[in-house]
Structure 1
Amino acid sequence: MPVSPYAPGTLLHARGRDWVVEADSTPEALHLRPLAGSAAESCWIIPELEQTEDAPRPAVFPPPSPRRRGNRNELRLLQSAMRMRMRSGAGPFRSFGNLSVQPRIYQLVPLLMALRQQVIRLLIADDVGIGKTIEAGLIVRELIDRGEIQRFSVLCPPNLAAQWRSELQQHFNIRAEVVTSASIARLEKKVPPGLSVFEHFPFTIISLDYIKSDRHRDTFLNKAPECIVVDEAHTCTSVATVQTHQRYELLRTLADDEKRHMLLLTATPHSGIEKGFYNLLGLLDRKFEQLGDVSQRQRNTLRTQLARHLVQRRRKDILRLWEENDILPTRKTKELTYRLSGEWGSFFEEVRQYCVQEAQSSGSRMIWYAMLALLRCISSSPASAVSALQAKLRGDTVADIETDCISQFTDMPGQDSPDDVEAPAPEMERIHELLEKAQTLMQSGADPKLNLLHSATRGLLKDGYSPIIFCQYISTAKYIADALKKWFPKYAVKAVTGELSPTEREETVQDLFEEPKRILVATNCLSEGINLQNGFNAVIHYDLAWNPTRHEQREGRVDRFGQKAPEVRSIMLYGQDNPIDGFILNVILRKAVTIREELGVQVPVPTDEQKTGEALVHAVLLNDHKPASDLQLSQQVLPGLEDYVIDMAWKNSSEQGPQRATAFAQQALQPADVLPEYERFHHLLGSTEELRYFLSETCKRLGSPLEPLALEKDAYSLRLSNLPEPLIRRLLELGIRTDRQNACRFTLRPAGSELPTITRAHPLVATIADYLAEQSLDQNPTALALPRCAVIRAGVPQLTTLYHLRLRHHLTFSFAQKSRQIMAEELVTLIRAGKEPLRFASHEEQEHYAAIATSGNIPEGIAVMQLERALDQWHSLPILPLLKERADALAHDHQRVREASRMDAGSMQVACCTPPDLLSILVCQPII
């Protein structure tokens, strides 16, 4: 096999510019990255096909010119530009240079778990709002930057696709395409003939509802990427509905490829149905599907193995184990109950009697379910009652009931299988009579549940909260919204339901964010995945959900990372003597106990023992096959309830229940072992102050100074039209948004702002930094170029010289008899004081010399002489031992992280490419 004359990391000149040879080059084809340009300009060339004048030849990085010297501030700006454009860091975490978000140290735990696996299979089940998207993004970005994957797809509900695209681009510098039924035609126009959308676009966000269908499923499976992220993974089990089963079959096929990385994300992995939970675990490894069928000894062994693949931490785990006391608000909860009374109580009893008679006369268990669904509609609101009764008149099925949630109960009357039984025809006259009463109730104002909502909402508004009211039915949502508009005319009230498309829902919510006083009414279409913490800080559960995890999902819309309010509130409403609420409480509490026994976690449930007990007893009255005096039901469903705090005042949810860590809290992993890399990460990103300095000074130099916005601190406007034309073209190609004045508006502080947040890895910053660095490092610098050397007179005891370098490293990873090579870069500073040996400057020393006080000017001739002497010394100083020392230190850092993450056997080597790139020189002369 021929040997290439250009080893990875070496410099060559081709096509009129200088390049760095990347690690994946071969003798026949060279992968090149511009020495002074951006990674986006990388290309492949075949040396034998290049024209003679463009043929590759060795190149040398140009040294600073003593004749073109500047001041210390210009050197500082050049260093900032180089730091802002640095992407492929040399540390153990390759992705840090590409992040626009500063992860908390606890968010490194899933990354450490991923690093220990050759093929990553993780279920990230951290609590709602803790940051699962950040944790998954860290893993995916790391795999990309290590060269382990070239493609990945996020599979998520369609309403979350736009949010995923935004977060991947904003936080991880990943530009992904959204694939839905609405976007597929547009994307296909961009695909070359013979390829599919999934081949052409390396990073995609795909609607689960789109891809699960037989029409699109096989095309995707044939070209599925090496890495799959599944959001809201609990919606992809083989139980429940046909839809969830289709999703499960898709994931099952993807998981059968043992080489494919898979990240499953859900805050609620266990719905209380063990089969669904074990199906989900089986996507990690099929053996985990057996957890419910093996002996206790085998079960313990499997659970130990499962701990390598499952991380689940609750809020209190983060607060207690990681001392992250400032990232999440305090959640205060309260229960409010009402009683069925007057006309409303009489109406409910009439409907109940009708339903019992229908169910008993049929003998079908499914008819019982249908009657229960009708009663639940009646229990929700008069509007929902009208809608349900009208559906029965039309002969439609009232099918809004999750039969999987209640089919576990064997005390229901009727046959187990509905296949042989046909539902009897409805008694039209009786239904008409009930419908008329429901319509009358809608106008009477006698709804005790709605009146209780009025009181609860008024209390929250009085305390300055912006609430979201969650209910089960579209008709109920509209009914509530109409009432709220009359009660609170000074507030903007909107209802968001499944009638709206995902785009319309997003626009409605965004419109509400802009209102100073706002109330949102929503069905469960907004209960999963949507970030609402920027505009709301309270939740009211108007209708109980069959599944307690739904309550957690609802509350997680506001109680999450990024919530500005120090305290969020949650109110749960239910009827103290409402049989339907009692029946649902029966389901909820049974499921809550199952979840706690399986995973050691708790979910939001009503905790007033007396009132829940009364509601449970009333649930017996739903059918006549049990006597009303049977009080054993409350004892049957209440085991373990004593672990909950019972207090009708506002309760701190983080203090409820046992204070032990959950079964899969991963306490053994100690990210403190990688704290040095975490701190270097913060130095690499730079502070907000450094970013402000860089943008302010650079934009001023480029002819378009930042204009501060009066309404917010650290918010600015940048007019693109005043920038150099080549830079404008680059920014517009990246899709940088501008207003009517061709200005880009942004903030440097994300908390509390509705403007886009700019960080060092944002395309705007990276592109400006690339442009300034290109101008400054070019062989023939332009007028915009920054000088690369300076001489200052400062308070130093002896002549001190600082050499600022860019080091290029060749990293070789060996694992399972395979080797992989990647390139990495880092910025370092060497310092020499007087005749002392040359050494690496610490971060504190660099900060010191960047801020050291100067005094007086230095004559031109003396300055040039000192810079020429510094350059001569540079060529004669013993650099190679220092480079070897740095390479060994990097190898040690990588090994420490591998040990902290308990990675399997393997090795890695670091070799520094020579000569290093000398970016700039600063000579500090003592004050005489």
Structure 2
Amino acid sequence: MSTAQEVFQPGSLVRARGREWVVLPENREQVLRLRPLGGSEEDATTIFLPLEPTPPVPATFQLPDATKAGSQTAALLLRDSLRLKLRAGAGPFRSFGNIGVEPRAYQLVPLLMALRLETVRLLIADDVGVGKTIEAGLIVRELLDRGEVERMTVICPPHLCEQWQEELAAKFNIQAEVVRTGTAGRLERGLMAGQSIFEEYPFTIVSLDYIKADRRRDEFLRACPELVIVEEAHSSVRSGGNTRHQRYQLLKGLADDPNRHMLFLTATPHSGDEEAFYNLLGLLRPDFKQLQGVNPADRKELREDLARYFVQRRRPDIREWQDSTVFPDRESAETTYALTGDWKQLFDDVLHYAREMVKQTEGLSLLKQRMSWWAALALLRCISSSPAAAAMALRTRLESTEEESEESQIALLEKQASETVLDGDSEETLNQDESVPAGTVEDTAALKNLIKRVDKLKGPKNDPKLEELISQLKDLVSNGFQPVVFCRYIATAHYVAEHLQSALKRAGVEVMAVTGELTPEEREEKVHGLSEFAKRLLVATDCLSEGINLQNLFNAVVHYDLTWNPTRHEQREGRVDRFGQPSPKVRVLMYYGENNPVDGAVLQVILRKAERIRKELGVTVPMPSDSNKVMDAIMQTVLLKEGSLVHGQRQFSLVFDDLDNEVDMAWESAKEKAKQSQTIFAQRRLKPEDVLPEWEKAIQVLGGESDVERFVTRTAERLRAPLEPTKNHFRFPLQHMAPQLRERLAGVGLEGAIRITFTHPAPSGVEYVHRAHPLVATLAEHVAERALEEEEPELAARCGAIFTREVKTRTTVFLLRLRSQLMIERREGNRFVPHRTLLSEECLGVAVEGSSEPRVLPEKDALAWKKLESARNMEPAQKAQMIEAAKATVEKLQLPFSQIARKRADQLLADHRRVREASDAKGVRYDVKACLPVDVIGIYVLAPAVTF
């Protein structure tokens, strides 16, 4: 028995249920999936043939009614609507009609690299804020729309799950389920015995901490989708420690399947740990691990091969794409406060107390020495942060665990202290413990006195650090900036936010604090809540320094507490200085105490040295692999060398003796490793001339920013709701639309007067309207439907005629809709078998000269109609006569129109084969077949104006 799809091929026209439809791909027997002629795939319906009272029959597209002629503008509006509503457009990429973001041309580089690989294994290591999520999403959407994968998962840190879910849904139309401890139970309910979540739900986002456990890993390896994205990949490839081992074993198990597509995302692929870096490369292809031990003279071929799998661009690399809309200018400045009065005296007394703690343990056990060492450093860091953090540190004792061996206690102490006192190392995720660490090891009268004094020094009157911050923020706000103030500890964040709320209330600034106490969902809700306020200020801990996008709401960063890790420093600033920042400028302020010895040591030992290397190499260098020397320098300078800090011209001079040389050597080693990595793994990146032609082909078929602006502007005018221009955007009064259209727009969340722009990035509070935006899709469908029904030719017309001096012979422009079947076959054994049939559509304007012997002119963009001026009015009867004469030539033109359709189908096939070079090697074969006859959507006659 023939299936429905054998009788009605995808792309063919049928008449069913009293109307015409386009047949969509569908593999089930006796089932037809149909889309209305003027509708979208969202309007598609499925019918079961045995239950239809009247069987569907083949149909042909009717020519336009010559009595329903419209203007030239109405003709162009129809052409734009049909073009912008395409979701399965022809061209080199299948996915561009299904994405809700207009990527920049440079973001296509990873996509083209991926499509040139047999099995996609790609390390995307672009700078913070360049757009790695968009680049990965493009690859996923393209492989899905080409039918090469059907399931995918994202493995990421828990706090990034919701952000990935939102990005995939909003930008790539992929509805994914989050899988972690709190959601797995719900998702597992209703599954059959032995069935996995990852088999039932095709698109998932799984928490790394949830899935790495041994008892879950084996099940995940069995049921894992064929495409995996690994976010923050650098944190999962280090050796040592059970957690790190579990992460790496999970990824290695996934990578052992040679057919699994994997995308690894990280801004820091080489973080100073050689073994971790080569572990990461080994996940791309096992032999890349050999680069670690291969003689430089022998590694050239392998290194060149790696360039096909590894893309890493710094921001300066993006400049060659000459895209001025990508990144803002970052204005970095420093400002200081001075410890004065009672606060200065208290700080000196706390410093003396901390030094005494360390001295009292001289000669005692190593555990006692390390406990006092860490407690002292914690106390000094907290008092440098805020009175609130200092008070908690003074009240919290660091105690030993007697049942453990001293060696075990020391190891545990070092681990906990590095997370609470320091900022962790750069290979791990930077969302670490934000609680105030223990700052004492014993109770003394001196300690009680310090606690009593610190509680009295809260507030700007007694806290010079807070007082100066308020002054700086008032200046930033008055200059139109929306700042994020980063603090190290939760106690400090709440303290700062509380006083800023009072200080900035009269200026109308809404202040909000977001810390690691909140769940990722609660953090996101609070941040988005600030979008309602014209003036906003966010106080945050480093729970927001990684992975969270803040660029749409904020454009300034203040480091209230200095970070002790340059990677975290860059991550903080990268939350606002990133792709999509609407402000042309981003302000960054580094804030420190000019006579605070702790800030001085951190500046001199860490931040100044890291910044010097960053300027020299153009990349942020992580902490040296032997970071103990750096930390020892800070500890010994602050705790053991009284009087060693000298202030002058806001610079610090440290006396390190031999230790100073060791610190310099450690940083030099980090610099050399980074420089060597840049040299060894420099890649043959695709250049603009390699990518832009593919980009331009996609825009030509689907429409770009200028096409969207023209269409929305003209549609609004014809629907009697013209756009109202303002300083940097438009106001679109949707309430003036007809009730039926208002209802459709409300269904996609658009009501009342909305603020829009057609240029990326959009100002805060303004929606960027691109070709896949719900506003464009809804308007395009409405215009196309009304035009095809020929009820409102004044809105969009299928036919028309004008007199013009631009032509010497009567010329007719035919608006054609071309449909092609893209057939995908996969190799099974020694033969290829059908796998999937996709539908491709394109709108094309074709000019034909003459009528008795019509001649098709060389291909010309239909936008040329826009340039033709009408010489004089034409009577309606004369218009109808000319249109009828043009309709009579359609039968003669079927052969040349079919030839055009076949030529475009061949071009489509060539495009698909070219960008997916590895498809044949992988056992995937494409073929394209034009659906005939071609639909003649519009007929527009250009008659030569006779000069009297």
- TM-score range (shorter-chain normalised) is 0.7 to 0.9
Deviations 1:391-410 (A, max 9, x none): 217989893523998999xx
Structure 2 residue aligned with 1:669: 686
The 5-angstrom pairing of residues 563-642 of structure 1 reads: 563-573=581-591, 578=597, 582=601, 586=605, 602-603=619-620, 619-621=635-637, 631-639=657-665
Structure 1 residue aligned with 2:648: none
Structure 1 residue 619 displacement after superposition: 3.9
Structure 2 residue aligned with 1:412: none
Structure 1 residue aligned with 2:844: 828
Deviations 1:607-652 (A, max 9, x none): xxxxxx999856434677999975232222325979999xxxxxxx
- 1:793 aligned partner, one-letter code: F
Alignment of 1:533 onto 2:545: no
Contact 1:581/1:615 (<8 A) preserved? no
Contact 1:620/1:627 (<8 A) preserved? no
Report SS of the residue matched to 1:919: strand
2:381 aligned to which of 376, 379, 387: 376
Contact 1:112/1:901 (<8 A) preserved? no
- Inter-CA distance 856–868: structure 2 relative to 1 (3 Å threshold): same
- Inter-CA distance 57–122: structure 2 relative to 1 (3 Å threshold): same
Contact 1:538/1:558 (<8 A) preserved? yes
Deviations 1:753-785 (A, max 9, x none): 41433332123432343344345446x979999
Alignment of 1:351 onto 2:351: no
Report SS of the residue matched to 1:148: coil
Alignment of 1:773 onto 2:784: yes
Report SS of the residue matched to 1:128: coil
Structure 1 residue aligned with 2:748: 736
Q: C-alpha separation between the residues in 1 aligned to 2:930 and 2:421? A: 60
* TM-score (normalizing by structure 1): 0.81
Structure 1 residue 205 displacement after superposition: 4.2
Alignment of 1:803 onto 2:814: yes
Q: C-alpha separation between the residues in 1 aligned to 2:600 and 2:534? A: 35
Q: C-alpha separation between the residues in 2 aligned to 1:263 and 1:593? A: 32
Deviations 1:655-709 (A, max 9, x none): xx999987656444134234233223334454556435544665677x7846748
Deviations 1:434-480 (A, max 9, x none): 54454455579676755665676566557654432222111122333
Alignment of 1:847 onto 2:863: yes
The 5-angstrom pairing of residues 740-779 of structure 1 reads: 746-749=756-759, 751-777=762-788
1:542 aligned to which of 560, 563, 568: 560
Q: C-alpha separation between the residues in 1 aligned to 2:707 and 2:423? A: 58
Structure 1 residue 838 displacement after superposition: 0.9
Structure 2 residue aligned with 1:401: 418
Report SS of the residue matched to 2:326: coil
Report SS of the residue matched to 1:521: strand
- 1:631 aligned partner, one-letter code: D
- Inter-CA distance 584–403: structure 2 relative to 1 (3 Å threshold): farther
Q: C-alpha separation between the residues in 2 aligned to 1:832 and 1:12? A: 28
Alignment of 1:479 onto 2:495: yes
Deviates more, 1:528-537 or 1:436-445: 436-445
The 5-angstrom pairing of residues 223-262 of structure 1 reads: 223-238=223-238, 248-262=248-262
Contact 1:112/1:900 (<8 A) preserved? no
Deviations 1:465-508 (A, max 9, x none): 44322221111223333454566553443332112333443343
Structure 1 residue 526 displacement after superposition: 1.0
1:522 aligned to which of 540, 546, 564: 540
- Inter-CA distance 210–696: structure 2 relative to 1 (3 Å threshold): farther
Contact 2:396/2:440 (<8 A) preserved? no
- Consecutive unaligned residues of structure 2, counting only runs of 5 or more, are 402-412, 426-438, 624-628, 645-654
Contact 1:121/1:309 (<8 A) preserved? yes
Alignment of 1:361 onto 2:364: yes
- Consecutive unaligned residues of structure 1, counting only runs of 5 or more, are 409-422, 607-612, 646-656
Structure 1 residue aligned with 2:569: 551
Contact 1:165/1:176 (<8 A) preserved? yes
Structure 1 residue 828 displacement after superposition: 1.0
Contact 2:423/2:565 (<8 A) preserved? no
Deviates more, 1:816-825 or 1:756-765: 816-825
- Inter-CA distance 705–127: structure 2 relative to 1 (3 Å threshold): same
Q: C-alpha separation between the residues in 2 aligned to 1:96 and 1:428? A: 69
Contact 2:379/2:440 (<8 A) preserved? no
2:928 aligned to which of 898, 910, 915: 910
Q: C-alpha separation between the residues in 2 aligned to 1:658 and 1:272? A: 11
Structure 2 residue aligned with 1:788: 798
Structure 2 residue aligned with 1:11: 13
1:873 aligned to which of 862, 880, 889: 889
Structure 1 residue aligned with 2:322: 323
Q: C-alpha separation between the residues in 2 aligned to 1:902 and 1:370? A: 63
Structure 1 residue aligned with 2:153: 153
Deviates more, 1:586-595 or 1:788-797: 586-595
Structure 1 residue aligned with 2:310: 310
* TM-score (normalizing by structure 2): 0.79
Contact 2:115/2:917 (<8 A) preserved? no
- Inter-CA distance 769–356: structure 2 relative to 1 (3 Å threshold): farther
Structure 1 residue 125 displacement after superposition: 1.7
Q: C-alpha separation between the residues in 2 aligned to 1:51 and 1:486? A: 70
- Inter-CA distance 435–677: structure 2 relative to 1 (3 Å threshold): same
Q: C-alpha separation between the residues in 2 aligned to 1:393 and 1:406? A: 19
- Inter-CA distance 773–564: structure 2 relative to 1 (3 Å threshold): closer
Structure 1 residue 116 displacement after superposition: 1.0
- 2:590 aligned partner, one-letter code: M
Deviates more, 1:673-682 or 1:508-517: 508-517
CA RMSD in angstroms comes to 4.8
Q: C-alpha separation between the residues in 2 aligned to 1:191 and 1:43? A: 28
Report SS of the residue matched to 1:552: helix
- Inter-CA distance 380–858: structure 2 relative to 1 (3 Å threshold): closer
Report SS of the residue matched to 1:678: helix
Contact 1:344/1:447 (<8 A) preserved? no
Contact 1:123/1:310 (<8 A) preserved? yes
Q: C-alpha separation between the residues in 2 aligned to 1:372 and 1:359? A: 16
Report SS of the residue matched to 2:327: coil
- Inter-CA distance 809–902: structure 2 relative to 1 (3 Å threshold): closer
How many matched pairs? 884
Deviates more, 1:768-777 or 1:129-138: 768-777
Q: C-alpha separation between the residues in 1 aligned to 2:919 and 2:450? A: 64
Contact 2:717/2:723 (<8 A) preserved? no
Q: C-alpha separation between the residues in 2 aligned to 1:129 and 1:559? A: 7
Q: C-alpha separation between the residues in 2 aligned to 1:799 and 1:407? A: 76
Structure 2 residue aligned with 1:72: 72
Deviations 1:37-92 (A, max 9, x none): 32234466665x454622x4433222323344333333222212211211112111
Report SS of the residue matched to 1:716: strand
Contact 1:811/1:911 (<8 A) preserved? yes
Report SS of the residue matched to 2:354: helix
- 1:332 aligned partner, one-letter code: E
- Inter-CA distance 483–698: structure 2 relative to 1 (3 Å threshold): closer
Q: C-alpha separation between the residues in 2 aligned to 1:494 and 1:30? A: 54
Structure 1 residue 210 displacement after superposition: 5.4
1:40 aligned to which of 20, 39, 42: 42
Q: C-alpha separation between the residues in 1 aligned to 2:703 and 2:488? A: 47
Deviations 1:720-771 (A, max 9, x none): 99432xx677656xx52256x6x76655455214143333212343234334
Deviations 1:293-334 (A, max 9, x none): 555556665544432222111111222x33334421222334
- Percentage of matched positions with identical amino acids: 42
- Inter-CA distance 896–719: structure 2 relative to 1 (3 Å threshold): same
Contact 1:469/1:541 (<8 A) preserved? yes
